[in-house]
Structure 1
Amino acid sequence: MSDITIDEGSEYTAIFHQGPFDGTTDTRTATSGSVDDEVTVYADVEGLQTAFTYRATGSRHVLDQISVDYTWEPGESDPVDDLADRGDRSGEFDRE
């Protein structure tokens, strides 16, 4: 993805696009000589821990700061119903 090299243990900023983390950022630590090509972030959705996969789509090095853009990969993430499709879940679950 990127030809930017980064020292192990150095920090960079992840910028998330699309999906449930759209517009948020995270400070990450490099574990090798490059930034992560893919990251998985977790959120509780209706009481269940849900994994969302984001893939690096671009990066930039400005002064001493490295920023990496990550775009949501819905096909590689846990499935989640759209809010409009969830309906009323305040009652008991139907079991047939």
Structure 2
Amino acid sequence: MTAPDSDSVVYIAEFLDGPLEGQTDSRVLVRGAAEPRISMVAAVDGMESLFWYDKGDQRDVQGRLHVRYSFDPGDSDPVESNHEQD
């Protein structure tokens, strides 16, 4: 039995908006499909925050699957800074 080609099990997640806007991430297909919803952890003002993204459209770019994800602010940690006012 041969191992699957790594290009056939990996896709590129593109973040359209929110705190990760413009970033991409290589992810593994789950049961042959891109995840419908993904969580990402990122630092905002030095504190780790959890952000949820929902799957949008997908397309093939030079033989690799690219999936666009939109930010879900309702389920994500707040992104506002909590600086103390002097």
User: When the two structures are superposed, what TM-score results if normalisation uses the length of structure 2?
Assistant: 0.78
Query: Aligned residue pairs: how many?
Result: 80
Corresponding position of 1:23: 22
Once superposed, what is the RMSD of the aligned Cα atoms? Answer: 2.3
In the TM superposition, what is the alpha-carbon distance from 1:88 to its structure 2 partner?
4.4
| Aligned residues of 2:41 and 2:48 also touching (Cα < 8 A) | yes
Q: Tell me which protein shows more strand as a share of its residues.
A: 2
d(CA) in 2 for partners of 1:64, 1:80: 35
Corresponding position of 1:10: 9
Corresponding position of 1:73: 72
Q: Is 1:64–2:51 an aligned residue pair?
A: no
d(CA) in 1 for partners of 2:64, 2:44: 33
d(CA) in 2 for partners of 1:63, 1:80: 34
In the TM superposition, what is the alpha-carbon distance from 1:63 to its structure 2 partner?
4.4
In the TM superposition, what is the alpha-carbon distance from 1:15 to its structure 2 partner?
0.5
User: When the two structures are superposed, what TM-score results if normalisation uses the length of structure 1?
Assistant: 0.71
Once the two structures are overlaid, the 10-residue window that deviates more, 44-53 or 17-26, is: 44-53
Detail structure 1 runs of 4+ shifted over 3 Å in the superposition: 86-89
Amino acid at match of 2:76: S
The alignment-based identity, stated in percent, is: 32
- In terms of Rg, which structure is larger? 1
Amino acid at match of 2:27: R
